[in-house]
């Protein structure tokens, strides 16, 4: 991990910088990836010497509980602790506890703001990943077949319940109609079914409330937005919603300005590079984005100009445990993964030694 090199910056004194664990880390994880999110928070925190109190989402508590049971004989008592319950009062009490030094949270913007307000009373550090509505910008020189294949998969994976999902697709007017035909065709071939069926490509949403929220966004679309596919509940036991494509969506409406978190793809037409960039940056989120083009100069321009913590070129939702991830704006702040993510969970101490 990075720290200033030791040396004699003052004559006769040796300066040493060292990183130390912060102490107790409160890890509050979401329901959409219940094992992955726990690992992303717990393993780095323990690796740099902290202890962890983990509160998993109340809708998916069993994964975290099982992980604690499996590590019970591997870790000293009290190093990894799991508490269960809703955000209020369980999460709130954890954030406010005086022994907690840092809060690492993934979840909604509203909950993130509440955590920051509470943590500020104790001057606690906070790492936040608060979701997004990632734009995928497809230019007329892009490989349309590759874009449709990748962006369909990344929009509908985990039933669209992914904060980096490519659910907001911006397409150049020169290929707009062709793109719509292809993506509607791709969506129509998606196999909906039970999650324990290996042939299933789209499973249910997490809850009835989540499905109703997504349906409300779809039903509340503007009069000019065209529903080209889906939009209805699948005739299956569970909280299923058909994969949905909505074209000609206006930049100002809720489907663009809010995180959908369901199997919904919106498609917007753009004419110029400036308009594409304005649409891409035209929300309060800044978590992830992708740009699809064969023009290297344009690719670098958009990668530099998009207001997103992660930008992919001719790809989407590509992650590695060695690559730091994190957002801007209402998508939160701080990093997870890689060395930079581990550094978030440490504090830097300066030591000066006088041996004269």
Cβ atoms of 166 and 317 within 8 Å: the answer is yes
Instruction: Output the CA angle 58-60-64, nearest 5 degrees.
Output: 100
Q: Where are the alpha helices (DSSP H) in 92-161?
A: 92-96, 109-121, 144-156
DSSP line for 212-277: HHHHHHHHT--TT-EEEE--S--SSSSS----EEEES--TTSHHHHS---SSEEEEEEE-SHHHHH
d(CA 301, CA 277): 10
Q: Which helix (H) or strand (E) holds 349?
A: strand 346-354
125 contacts 136 by C-beta, under 8 angstroms? no
| Residue 273 near residue 304, CB atoms below 8 Å | no
Q: How many CB atoms lie within 10 A of CB 234?
A: 17
Return the residue matching tokens 């992708």: 290
Measure the CA–CA gap between 236 and 238, rounded to whole angstroms: 6
CB of 22 closer than 8 Å to CB of 347: yes
What is the DSSP pairing of strand 100-106 with strand 226-229? unpaired
Cis bond upstream, residue 89 (ω within 30) = yes
Residues with catalytic annotation? 129, 163
């Amino acid at each position: 991990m990075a720290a200033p090199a030791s040396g004699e910056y003052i004559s006769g004194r040796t300066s040493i910088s060292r990183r130390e664990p912060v102490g107790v880390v409160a890890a509050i994880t979401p329901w959409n990836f219940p094992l992955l999110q726990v690992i992303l928070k717990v393993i780095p925190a323990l690796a740099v010497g902290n202890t962890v109190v983990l509160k998993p989402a109340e809708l998916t508590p069993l994964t975290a509980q099982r992980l604690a049971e499996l590590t019970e004989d591997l870790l000293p008592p009290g190093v990894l602790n799991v508490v269960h319950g809703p955000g209020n009062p369980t999460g709130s009490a954890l954030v406010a506890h005086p022994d907690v030094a840092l809060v690492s949270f993934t979840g909604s913007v509203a909950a993130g703001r509440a955590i920051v307000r509470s943590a500020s009373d104790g001057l606690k550090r906070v790492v936040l990943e608060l979701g997004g509505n990632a734009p995928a910008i497809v230019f007329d020189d892009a490989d349309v077949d590759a874009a449709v294949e990748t962006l369909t998969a990344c929009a509908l994976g985990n039933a669209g319940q992914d904060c980096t999902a490519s659910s907001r697709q911006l397409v150049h007017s020169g290929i707009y109609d062709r793109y719509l035909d292809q993506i509607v065709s791709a969506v129509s071939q998606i196999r909906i079914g039970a999650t324990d069926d290996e042939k299933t490509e789209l499973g249910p949403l997490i809850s009835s409330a989540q499905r109703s929220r997504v349906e409300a966004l779809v039903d509340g679309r503007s009069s000019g937005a065209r529903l080209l596919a889906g939009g209805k509940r699948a005739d299956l036991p569970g909280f299923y919603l058909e994969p949905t494509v909505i074209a000609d969506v206006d930049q100002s409406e809720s489907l663009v300005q809010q995180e959908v978190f369901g199997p919904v793809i919106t498609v917007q037409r753009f004419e110029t590079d400036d308009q594409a960039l304005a649409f891409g940056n035209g929300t309060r989120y800044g978590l992830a984005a992708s740009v699809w083009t064969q023009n290297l100069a344009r690719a670098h321009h958009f990668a530099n100009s998009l207001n997103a913590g992660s930008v992919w070129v001719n790809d989407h939702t590509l992650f590695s445990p060695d690559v730091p991830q994190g957002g801007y704006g209402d998508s939160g702040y701080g990093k997870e993964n890689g060395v930079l993510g581990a550094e978030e969970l440490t504090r830097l101490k300066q030591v000066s030694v006088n041996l004269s």
